[in-house]
Every structure is written in structure tokens, then in C-alpha cells.
A and B are shown apart, each in its own frame.
Chain A
Amino acid sequence: MLVLTCHACGVTAEETEFHAGGEAHLKRFGPGSSDEDFEEYLFMRANPKGVHFERWRHANGCGKWFHVARDTMTLEVFGSYSAQAFAPPEELLSRIEDRRPGWRGQD
């Protein structure tokens, strides 16, 4: 059972209170974009073994979206950050670096 902290309201709760929303920081492409870009946005996923940045929604709580950094190999949760962020905050990246020496951030 994952334990997550909602970045919006600060509540820490078990995963049943949240809804997983998939990979974070996807660059959105819409009408007029190339087929490759549109495919990339809609379907292609990093699906990494290891550190994953993802979106979660506090569905049975405040209802807000937020971001989480989590390890898909160990289920360790590194922390939450704002849904408004376009990239993980530097402080979180260095915390991950401490826990996973040699880990280089995804771009």
C-alpha cells in the first residue's frame, strides 16, 4: 500500500484515497502538430525501471491534482510537488540523487 502526501492540502493518506494519473510532464501536442509528435504525446511512455515522475489526484479528498516522484522498482516515494510545476523541483532531484547515487535526472 502506497502512502502519499497531497501537495495541495497536505493530507498524508493511503493510496485508496488517491487516483493514479500516469506519467508527468508530457508535452502536449494538438491539432496541426506532426503525426510523430501527436503519437509521442498520446501513447509513448518512458515507463522506466526506477525513478518515475507521475500525476496523482486526491480523488477522495480535496480533489486536486499534484505530482509525485516514486521508484517503480522499490515503490519508495521520494516526495510530492505542485501540479503547476513543469519540471521536478531541484530540491527533490537532489534528494533522489542522495538516495540513488549516480541517478541522472530524466529530461
Chain B
Amino acid sequence: MKKYSVFAVAREAMRHHTGWNRAWRDAQPKKRYDVIIVGAGGHGLATAYYLGKNFGITNVAIIEKGWLGGGNTGRNTTIIRSNYLQDPSAAIYEKARSLYETMSQDLNYNVMFSPRGVIMLAQTEHEVRGYKRTAHANALQGVTTEFIGPERVKQLVPIINLDGPRYPVLGGLWQARGGTARHDAVAWGYARACSDMGMDVIQKCEVTGVRSEGGKVTGVSTNRGDIDCDKLGIVVAGHSGHLADMAGFRLPIESVALQALVSEPIKPCMDVVVMANTVHGYMSQSDKGEMVIGGGTDGYNNYTQRGSFHHIEETVRALVETFPMVSRLKMLRQWGGIVDVTGDRSPILSKTPVENVFINCGWGTGGFKAIPGSGWGFAELMAKGQSPLTDAFGLNRFQEGRFIDESVAAGVAH
């Protein structure tokens, strides 16, 4: 792999950029791998990366039915924060957030991590109390957050309207080192590093069956033939129920559409991320100047990557109240992704009823921020059978009633 650096840019500038190589090999499936990861989204790729980097396991294939990062990883609004309420969540999200800080250097790939700060607005008395509680919990967890008053919110976000008619801004939960990153670059950076370690990133290869013998996995069937493996990691977000069905077990997951939209590009007007969970809308400004906007999920099961228009309308209506200038913006485009939602709004990183099949799913509406931490923990779980980061996120928690309840804490969990 050629290292990317300022010198490489200068050298290529001198020779009309003719010397750039492919960032990763266009790999073809082999007969057998030690580990197969299904799904080349951020979580699958990060898992493969840490299997290689932390455990020296490099005979690995990452199999993707579409294109790299074409699932939710390439469709999300890229908010990164770790101000969760429950200890296991804070641990894995903060691990992830801290890995984002050095990801560009670690991968030698600019993922444009921008720790610009994230505010979650408190617009009801309940939210004020809830976020104060979260700030206290975060202090105990070693996650730096702070509850701030309305004046400070206005200072950080001059375009905000504090005294909205329905939901005045009463304060906010502020995480100064939260922010955003370039989503595609996260997938591409990991893919390049994985390919460099000798792993095969195989695109346009759809897993159509999971093969097992005596309750133990032996491989997968794909539209490009059978591939054998010792261990299988299923990391397919909205498609998890479908893959679990192939392997012969059920999941506490429902797949629904979540949408986002962007406005026309405008001059810099807001240099933090603002989430308004009561009214279901959140917004940040991309480097191109577009206002990136997201809201809530549709209520019904859906695999079409299209959501209902009235949700877009609701989201924008909510934002116009808090950010009156939004009413003058033209919206450019809108899209949807299929997110995998669990009963307690927390992910599943777990062994499964089939031996050597592991599953990483249930990140729902908020897993982009978790990619490096999830990959770190899930790689350890796959390599060693156990990981302190993933212990609490097992499938058994639903039977044991040991929920990691973030549904109340997060409201909208991006």
C-alpha cells in the first residue's frame, strides 16, 4: 500500500495524478477463509480490521451484496457522540468516539473527523431532568459532558430561536468532543487497511444461505458459489432478521425506514451539531455547506430504503420552529436506509444458537458513531469468545430481562 501524505500529493501533482493506485484490491472469493464477515458496512469492516490488527487473524473475507458502504453507513447523518445513560452503552460509544479521534492517522486515510460539539436540546421539563441525570451519569462514566443553560445554547448556535411557541429551549446536554465524520471515508479507510493486511473485500456477492453441520457453521452459500469458513460474523444491519432466518434462529429486531435530507449549500451558519429530540429533528452543516437534516423512523416494517413523505414534512416543520431561517432553504435531496431496531434500542453483539456464528446488529438509528468501538469489541468476541465491551449486549438479555434501556434516554437515537 502506498502511504498517503503531503509528499504523495505533491509528487502526483507533478505527474498529472497518474500514479494513484486502487485503494483496495477487487478480490474474488476463495474456497475457504478462517473468518467470513457478511456485510461491508462500517461495523463489518471495522470488525475485520481489528481481527487483523489486534488478533493477527487475516485470512478473512468481507462479503458485500452491493457496494462497499452502500448500506446505512453511506446513508447516515454522521453524528458522533457518547453521552448515553447506561454504563455498557457509555463504554462502547466512548471507546468508539475516542478511536475516531485518531482514526485518520491510524488508517492513513482522512475520515474528516470533526469534533465540533453536539448539543441535545432540552425543550420540556422532563428533558431538562433527563439530561441533567445523563450528565451526572456521564461524569461517573468518565465521559465529558455538561448541562448548559439557554444563554450558552444561544452563544453556540446564534441561528436558534430559544422561545419557540410550543417548545422553548430550556437548556441542553453539551458534548464538546462529539461531532461528525465523513461516512464513506470510514468505510473506504477500513477497506483499504483490510485489503492491505491481505483480507478480501468482495463486493456484489450476496449471501443466500448459511451452511452448518451438527449445530456448527461450515460456510455460506452466495450468488458466486459456496465459501467455507471456521467462524461467521453477521453484520448486516436492517437485513439481520433475514440472515438469522438463513442460519435458523430468530432475532428481537424489526426493520424500518429512517430518512434524511439535505438543503442547498449555504454559507457557514452553524458550526455545531444540534439535536432536538422532543420535536424529532436534528441538523448539522456539511463542509459543502448543505444543512444535513434527519428525523424519526417510520412506524411499519419496511425493506425498500424509501420512507413516507409525511415524516420529512414533520421533521422540517419541527426544525423551522427552532431554526426559523430553515424556512427559506430549498431542500435538494432525500433518501432512506433500513435500520434494525431492538426492543431496548441497544445493539446486539453476541454469540448465537449456531456455534461459531456471531451477530452484530441492532444499532438501529444510531450506529455510525459506534463503528470503531463495535469493531474493536466484536473482533475480540469473535477471536476469544468474550469481550468486556460486548458482554452486556448478548442476545440472552431479552430472556433474562437485563435490558440496556436507551429508548427513554435517547428518544431519537442518532
Number of A positions contacting B (CB below 8 A):
27
A35 vs chain B, min Cβ distance (A): 5
| Interchain CA distance A40-B398 in the complex, whole Å | 9
Does A13 belong to the interface (CB within 8 Å)? no
Cβ-defined partner of B302 (8 Å) among A23, A42, A44, A75: A75
| Interchain CA distance A52-B342 in the complex, whole Å | 18
| Interchain CA distance A59-B344 in the complex, whole Å | 25
| Interchain CA distance A40-B250 in the complex, whole Å | 9
How many B residues are at the interface, by size bracket? 20 to 34
Whether B308 pairs with A45 at a CB distance below 8 angstroms is no
Chain B's closest residue to A35 (CB) is B399
Chain B at the A interface: SS class: mixed
Does B304 belong to the interface (CB within 8 Å)? yes
A10 vs chain B, min Cβ distance (A): 21
- Which chain A residues (36-67) contact chain B, with CB distance < 8 Å? 36, 39-40, 42-49, 52, 54
Whether A42 pairs with B241 at a CB distance below 8 angstroms is no
Contacting residues, chain A, for B138 (C-beta < 8 A): none
Interface mask (B240-253 → A, CB under 8 Å = 1, otherwise 0): 01100100001111
| Residue among B253, B304, B399 facing the most chain A CB atoms (10 A cut-off) | B399
Contacting residues, chain B, for A20 (C-beta < 8 A): 298-300
| Interchain CA distance A52-B306 in the complex, whole Å | 17
Whether A47 pairs with B309 at a CB distance below 8 angstroms is no
| Interchain CA distance A79-B249 in the complex, whole Å | 29
Does B303 belong to the interface (CB within 8 Å)? yes
Whether B254 pairs with A22 at a CB distance below 8 angstroms is yes
Whether A1 pairs with B308 at a CB distance below 8 angstroms is yes
Chain B's closest residue to A16 (CB) is B310
B280 vs chain A, min Cβ distance (A): 15
Contacting residues, chain B, for A2 (C-beta < 8 A): 300, 308
Whether A49 pairs with B251 at a CB distance below 8 angstroms is no
Whether B301 pairs with A15 at a CB distance below 8 angstroms is no
B154 vs chain A, min Cβ distance (A): 34
Contacting residues, chain B, for A94 (C-beta < 8 A): none
A-B contact list, 9 entries, CB within 8 Å:
A23-B254, A42-B398, A44-B250, A44-B398, A47-B242, A48-B301, A49-B242, A72-B301, A72-B302
Known: A1-B309, A45-B250. 15 other contacts (CB 8 A): A1-B310, A16-B310, A19-B299, A20-B298, A20-B300, A22-B301, A42-B343, A45-B254, A47-B301, A48-B242, A49-B303, A72-B302, A72-B304, A75-B302, A75-B304
